[in-house]
Structure 1
Amino acid sequence: MTFHVPTIDITPYVTDGSPEARADVARRIDEACRTVGFIQITGHGIPADVISGLTEAMDGFFALDLETKKTYRTPPSINRGYSPPKSESLSLSLGVEPASRMNDFFEAFNVGATHADYPDASDLPQPDYADNVWPDVARFEEGVRTYFGEAARVARAMTRIFADALGVDADFFAARTDHSLDVMRMNNYALPAGTDVRLDGDLIGMGEHTDYGIVTILWADQVHGLQVLGADGSWNDVQPADDALLVNLGDVTARWTNERWMSTLHRVKPPVIDGTIERRRSAAFFHDGNVDALIETLPSCVDADHPDLYDPITVGEHIRAKLDGSRAGKKNNNAERESARVLASSR
């Protein structure tokens, strides 16, 4: 079976589309979520100059020398700031031991929704809603904040589509995301000039993992590297189409839907051309849900042929176990179903 990531125009949900047009989009999204779990979306409405502002901000920061970038590090428990190369191992978030611990060579910078972004919510736990760290780079904060707001809008449009596709109340997701743990991770896949590249199988851009929350909105360069696990256990290359964003499901949605919709395993293998790494950039906006929202299987997704696969857990508990794996190096022992898929793949 040929692996294919469908392209879907979500304009009817971004503008005031007709009920018929929206129903067609919801039907196509349901089919894509049941069969692939990765989607290309067009019609998202993010202006080109906003994306340019984001990429200029990323380029400005990642061009700094390593020691300067390291001054923007935060402890592993605080999902903000800078992560140097080989300081994380995404496969540990699944409980899968990599060949070499903390060996993912990407570098990243994280920002997220803070307590100040939700003035009507009280007693939001820290460090889940920690303040951001803003580097001293021209127009960085402006460019990142503007894109963050646009990505948040697109993520909420996707959850409106999800509600229609799943046949739940229109405000199902809205009621569980009014103080959502939203984080954006800006990634840079490159090695310093002169680095010896060994093609011996242990060079990892970002290890295999599922995303943790409800939905991820991904902007990425049109450079090879991203690979998605197909239903047959094969890894497949995926590149963004022109003017498209990639969308994939996270674990929270897989749990709510009892795996009717699957959180898709993916990884980044660095493209090596003439013995050097071809630089690749991406920005992943993770729409994770309220820290106190309960992930409990939807009754419509349970029947005699589909028994409930998951015990209830809050979004906060689930995310902490995942982050302890990727950022702190603690093997996550609560991801048996996801890790089994990795171990069964043609690695």
Structure 2
Amino acid sequence: MAFRVPLVDITSYVADGTAEERAATARAIDDACRTVGFIQITGHGIPDDVVAGLADAMDGFFALGLDEKKAYRTPPQVNRGYSPPKSESLSLSLGVEQASRMNDFFEAFNVGAAASDYPHADGLPQPDYAENVWPEIDGYRERVQTYFDEAARVARTLTRIFADALGLPADFFPSRTDHSIDVLRMNNYALPPGTDVRLDGDLIGMGEHTDFGIVTVLWADQVAGLQVLGTDGSWNDVMPADDALLVNLGDITARLTNERWMSTLHRVKPPVIGGTIERRRSAAFFHDGNVETLIETLPSCIDAEHPNLYPEPVTIAEHIAAKLGGSRQGKLNEKAERESARVAASRS
């Protein structure tokens, strides 16, 4: 059967549909999470002008000179600010060596939920809830923040659907995400003038990886590049449908569900035309959960045929630190045995 990312309309949860309509939506989400781990969603309710504002803000920042952008770079342990091309290696977040370390050809700018955004939560640790670094570009902060807030709403709507699909209490996710580590990562797949890189046969836009958290909400240009690993081991091109957002599950959800739901490997392979990368933009909103939350496999996902694949609970803080240590600090993640095995299988 040909690879397909299911398209699901979530209007019933955004606009207070009937119980029957919501149940149908939850069943469709459950099926997509079981079989693919990626979903295209419509009916999300983000206005067109908010998306356009985000795209304009991204264009304004990435059009700056490389030295100007590097002024907004933060230390590797702080998941904020600017990441230049070839400064990250996402395969290391899975504990997999690449032939060329720090070989991801993209630049990015990250903003996230800061401690000041959660006045009800005392003593939130740094750098998990670091304050943001904002470029001095007219309207940039307002446009990005507006989209961030909308994407956060969509992510929390999705976790409402997840709870219904998994038969969990309505407060299951809210009690674990009321001060969630949330990050919006704006990516630009185009090499800026003056970037000292070499285009060769090993060119990788963004290496194969799984996402870290609960759920990712992705806006992307309708340009080829994103590839998703199918259950048959094949890499498949994925582009968003008109007005759709791409959604995928992260490792925390895979752990919770004992891999009943899939945290799917994906990568970006940008097309090279005339020795340069065709431009592609994306903005990924990562909804990761509260830093101190202990992730334990749901009892309902364990039985004689499905033994617990994750017998050792882990806090979200520990999990995220190991992942970021790989991607941004070049440290092999030795706690990602299951994910790294999938990468190895895909390469063979």
TM-score, scaled to structure 1:
0.98
Residue 307 of structure 1 is matched in structure 2 by 307
Distance (Å, rounded) in 1 between the aligned partners of 2:199 and 2:93: 25
What 5-or-longer segments of structure 2 have no aligned partner? none
Residue 319 of structure 1 is matched in structure 2 by 320
2:344 counterpart letter in structure 1: L
Distance (Å, rounded) in 2 between the aligned partners of 1:196 and 1:214: 36
Residue 333 of structure 2 is matched in structure 1 by 332
Distance (Å, rounded) in 1 between the aligned partners of 2:195 and 2:185: 25
Distance (Å, rounded) in 2 between the aligned partners of 1:198 and 1:149: 38
Residue 256 of structure 2 is matched in structure 1 by 256
Q: Would you say the 8 A contact 1:186–1:283 is kept in 2?
A: yes
Distance (Å, rounded) in 1 between the aligned partners of 2:297 and 2:185: 28
Residue 200 of structure 1, CA deviation: 4.2
Residue 16 of structure 2 is matched in structure 1 by 16
Distance (Å, rounded) in 2 between the aligned partners of 1:346 and 1:2: 20
Residue 345 of structure 1, CA deviation: 0.8
Residue 271 of structure 1, CA deviation: 1.4
Q: Structure 1 residues 8, 78: closer, same or farther in 2, change over 3 A?
A: same
Distance (Å, rounded) in 1 between the aligned partners of 2:275 and 2:263: 34
Residue 90 of structure 1 is matched in structure 2 by 90
Residue 206 of structure 2 is matched in structure 1 by 206
Of all paired residues, the percent bearing the same amino acid is: 78
Q: Would you say the 8 A contact 1:60–1:138 is kept in 2?
A: no
**Worse-matched range after superposition: 185-194 or 96-105:** 185-194
**Worse-matched range after superposition: 184-193 or 248-257:** 184-193
**Which 4+ residue blocks in structure 1 deviate beyond 3 angstroms?**
192-200
The CA deviation string for residues 78-116 of structure 1, in whole angstroms up to 9 with x for no partner, is: 000000000000000000101100011100000000111
Partner SS, residue 39 of structure 1: strand
What 5-or-longer segments of structure 1 have no aligned partner? none
Residue 46 of structure 2 is matched in structure 1 by 46
Residue 72 of structure 1, CA deviation: 0.3
**Worse-matched range after superposition: 146-155 or 190-199:** 190-199
Residue 149 of structure 2 is matched in structure 1 by 149
Partner SS, residue 109 of structure 2: strand
Residue 278 of structure 1 is matched in structure 2 by 278
Residue 26 of structure 2 is matched in structure 1 by 26
Residue 262 of structure 1, CA deviation: 1.2
Q: Would you say the 8 A contact 2:184–2:284 is kept in 1?
A: yes
Distance (Å, rounded) in 2 between the aligned partners of 1:258 and 1:13: 26
Partner SS, residue 130 of structure 2: coil
Residue 199 of structure 1, CA deviation: 6.6
Distance (Å, rounded) in 1 between the aligned partners of 2:114 and 2:291: 12
Q: Would you say the 8 A contact 1:225–1:269 is kept in 2?
A: yes
Residue 140 of structure 1 is matched in structure 2 by 140
Q: Would you say the 8 A contact 1:228–1:265 is kept in 2?
A: yes
Q: Would you say the 8 A contact 1:210–1:338 is kept in 2?
A: yes
Partner SS, residue 345 of structure 1: helix
The CA deviation string for residues 166-197 of structure 1, in whole angstroms up to 9 with x for no partner, is: 01111111110000000010000002359899
1:106 counterpart letter in structure 2: F
Partner SS, residue 111 of structure 1: strand
Q: Within 5 A, what are the aligned runs for 1:147-186?
A: 147-186=147-186
2:313 counterpart letter in structure 1: P
The CA deviation string for residues 241-297 of structure 1, in whole angstroms up to 9 with x for no partner, is: 000000000000000000000101000001123443110000000000000011000
* Root mean square deviation of aligned Cα: 1.3
Instruction: Count matched residues.
Output: 347
Distance (Å, rounded) in 1 between the aligned partners of 2:14 and 2:272: 38
**Worse-matched range after superposition: 198-207 or 223-232:** 198-207
Q: Would you say the 8 A contact 2:66–2:192 is kept in 1?
A: no
Partner SS, residue 134 of structure 1: coil
Distance (Å, rounded) in 1 between the aligned partners of 2:179 and 2:91: 28
1:339 counterpart letter in structure 2: S
Q: Structure 1 residues 38, 121: closer, same or farther in 2, change over 3 A?
A: same
TM-score, scaled to structure 2:
0.97
Distance (Å, rounded) in 1 between the aligned partners of 2:116 and 2:62: 27
Distance (Å, rounded) in 1 between the aligned partners of 2:62 and 2:51: 17
Q: Would you say the 8 A contact 2:66–2:194 is kept in 1?
A: no
Distance (Å, rounded) in 2 between the aligned partners of 1:295 and 1:45: 30
2:152 counterpart letter in structure 1: A
Q: Would you say the 8 A contact 2:226–2:238 is kept in 1?
A: yes
